[in-house]
Structures are given as C-alpha cells and as structure tokens.
C-alpha cells in the first residue's frame, strides 16, 4: 500500500503520490508512471534513483527515471530560436529539469558545470534515452 525507500534515502512523505498504470499498448513491460505532488519530492526521487515499493506480499525495488513528454516547447526560448518547433531534448539533471531546442541546449550546456549533462529524447514505448551531443 505504500512506498518505502532504501535505508538512508528518506524522501517519501505524505506529499508523495504514486499511481501505477499498466497498459501493454503504451508502456514497456515492467514500466509504470509515478506522479509527484511537488517538485521537491520529484527531485528527491530522481536523485535517489531507486525506491522500494511494497504492496501486500509484493516487495520490489524499482528504478525512477524521468518521463519525457511529446510536443513540448523549449523552456528557454519558447520556440523563438527554433522556428516554433517542439524541443527535442530534455535535461534530467536536477539543476535544469527543462526542455530545450538544439540552439538553447548548446548555449545553456556550454556553461561551466553543465557541459556533462546528457540530453534525453523520447524513445519508442515511452522510454527516454540519452543521445550524444556534439559541440560545434
């Protein structure tokens, strides 16, 4: 009925809301979606990377990964620097947590401390994947 975290990773509180949907048509086998009631709980879950879910006799350790949405505008330029196209990249690093067009990704991630962030793109079956990004 609740979710527990591994020892030393205490972030799940009454603010944590989890819902598990299983549909063969839209999710990879063994995948689920979790919704958080606030950004702080989301950041804590992404940072911890794994949570322990318990329900009845079931006790599973699951990996938490960001979910990359379709059809999102660049959070930096709102489409002004990319001709109104949707942003292909999402940065899951907790210092960013934003969608970027190629221009804004290159600009923002050329800054010190962000050059090692990896862009995520939407992959089939709702699975994000990291892509290599070449600096020009």
74 close to 100: Cβ distance less than 8 angstroms = yes
pLDDT in tens, 32-82: 777 777 788 788 888 888 877 777 888 878 888 887 888 999 999 999 999
Q: Quote the pTM value.
A: 0.64
Confidence band of 89 (pLDDT split at 50, 70, 90): very high
Tell me where in the chain the CATH 4.10.640.40 domain(s) lie.
67-136
Range 67-136 has CATH code 3.40.50.300: no
């Amino acid at each position: 009925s609740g979710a527990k975290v591994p020892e030393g990773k205490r972030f799940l509180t009454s603010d944590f809301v989890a819902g598990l949907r299983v549909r063969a048509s839209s999710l990879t086998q063994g995948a689920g979606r979790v919704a958080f009631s606030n950004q702080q709980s989301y950041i804590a879950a992404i940072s911890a990377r794994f949570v322990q879910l318990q329900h009845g006799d079931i006790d599973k350790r699951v990996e938490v990964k960001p979910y990359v949405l379709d059809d999102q505008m660049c959070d930096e330029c709102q489409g002004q620097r990319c001709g109104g196209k949707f942003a292909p990249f999402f940065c899951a690093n907790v210092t960013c947590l934003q969608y970027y067009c190629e221009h804004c990704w290159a600009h923002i991630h050329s800054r010190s401390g962000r050059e090692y962030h990896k862009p995520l793109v939407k992959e089939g079956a709702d699975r994000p994947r990291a892509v290599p990004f070449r600096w020009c």
